[in-house]
Homo-oligomer: A and B are copies of this chain.
Amino acid sequence: MLDVCLLGTGGMMPLPGRHLTACMVRAEGTSLLVDCGEGTQVTLRRQGWSFKPIDAIFFTHMHGDHVAGLPGLLLTIGNAGRTEPVLIYGPKGTGRVVRGLMMAAPELPFPVEIHEIGETEIMAGTLYVRSFRVDHNVPCMGYRIELRRRPEFQPERARALGVPLRAWNPLQKGNTVEIDGVTYTPDMVLGEARKGLTVCYCTDTRPTPSIIEGARDADLFICEGMYGEEEKKSRSREYKHMTFREAAVLAKAANAKELWLTHFSPSLMHPQDVLGEAREVFANSFVGRERMTKILKYDETES
């Protein structure tokens, strides 16, 4: 099981009743935050999800509307009694900005580790996070977050092969075991690969092929839709953002299951009114709402 909460839907500046875009993903004891604009800690508190267990924060880019909530969040995590390190990932330039912001949050009771990353895959607790480059006016990354599902353990095969019982547990976890000179490998006792759960989060950017790859077959694709109306296309090109329709085209090309639009321009007061622009292209499109939450579960038809 993996759950996702969209902590805000605003782009550029927080508005009364519309916090800035950020997203939290939790699965099997791991909590990840993507972006942290001003006010992120307020919606997280309203949502009732704990601050303390946040393992890592992934930044798409270093614009103020995505990062300025960091010092307050770190202070609040500290007040919650955290002592384990908090990991921070982001594109080139992240270190300079994060260290700057942390001037307002000195003397935290936990270490903060900053990692500037390119296109890579990071194992963050129980989740795998793949970063991919997108196209904004500063270095910017999208993130594909996966909870991988282990193949099923097949006790009847283990028994038939005479695998000693004490090897079962490490083999189940995917480890190779040697006992009395005999090597047992996971493939001997595990079934076929099973589909995991995937969330892709992507803002601020023009449409790119990398996004289609990043959102490929995703259970949930959270994508910016800075401008609702198609007539704002030239503006979205100029400022390196997307329209609702452009996001929907990506969702369709990626074969995502569901699209949540977010990061609305302050001028887009009623995003619901232009949702049709996206649905014409990709039927399963939704306007993101603050604290919109979804629990993703494994496909139980897979044995």
Tell me the number of copies of this protein: 2
Please classify the interface of chain A as helix (H, G, I), strand (E, B), loop, or mixed, using the class held by over half of its residues. helix
The contact of A72 among B14, B16, B41, B96, by CB within 8 Å, is B14
The contact of A42 among B12, B39, B41, B105, by CB within 8 Å, is B39
The contact of A39 among B14, B63, B79, by CB within 8 Å, is B14
Chain B residues with CB under 8 Å of A96's CB are: 103
Bound-state Cα–Cα, A69 to B12, Å: 14
Bound-state Cα–Cα, A71 to B12, Å: 12
Bound-state Cα–Cα, A108 to B27, Å: 40
Contact A104 B72 (CB under 8 A): no
Bound-state Cα–Cα, A75 to B103, Å: 19
Known: A14-B41, A41-B38, A104-B100. A71 touches B64 (CB 8 A): yes
Bound-state Cα–Cα, A35 to B61, Å: 27
Is there a chain B Cβ closer than 8 Å to A226's Cβ? no
Query: Which residue in chain B gives the minimum CB-CB distance to A75?
Result: B64
Is there a chain B Cβ closer than 8 Å to A159's Cβ? no
Bound-state Cα–Cα, A176 to B26, Å: 71
The contact of A64 among B46, B63, B65, B105, by CB within 8 Å, is B105
Tell me which of A41, A65, A100 has the highest count of chain B C-beta atoms within 10 A of its own C-beta: A100
Is there a chain B Cβ closer than 8 Å to A248's Cβ? no
Tell me which of A71, A76, A104 has the highest count of chain B C-beta atoms within 10 A of its own C-beta: A104
The contact of A104 among B14, B43, B62, B79, by CB within 8 Å, is B62
Is there a chain B Cβ closer than 8 Å to A232's Cβ? no
Chain B residues with CB under 8 Å of A65's CB are: 72, 75
Contact A38 B72 (CB under 8 A): yes
Chain A residues in contact with chain B, CB under 8 A? 12-16, 37-39, 41-43, 45-46, 62-65, 67-69, 71-72, 75-76, 79, 96-97, 99-105
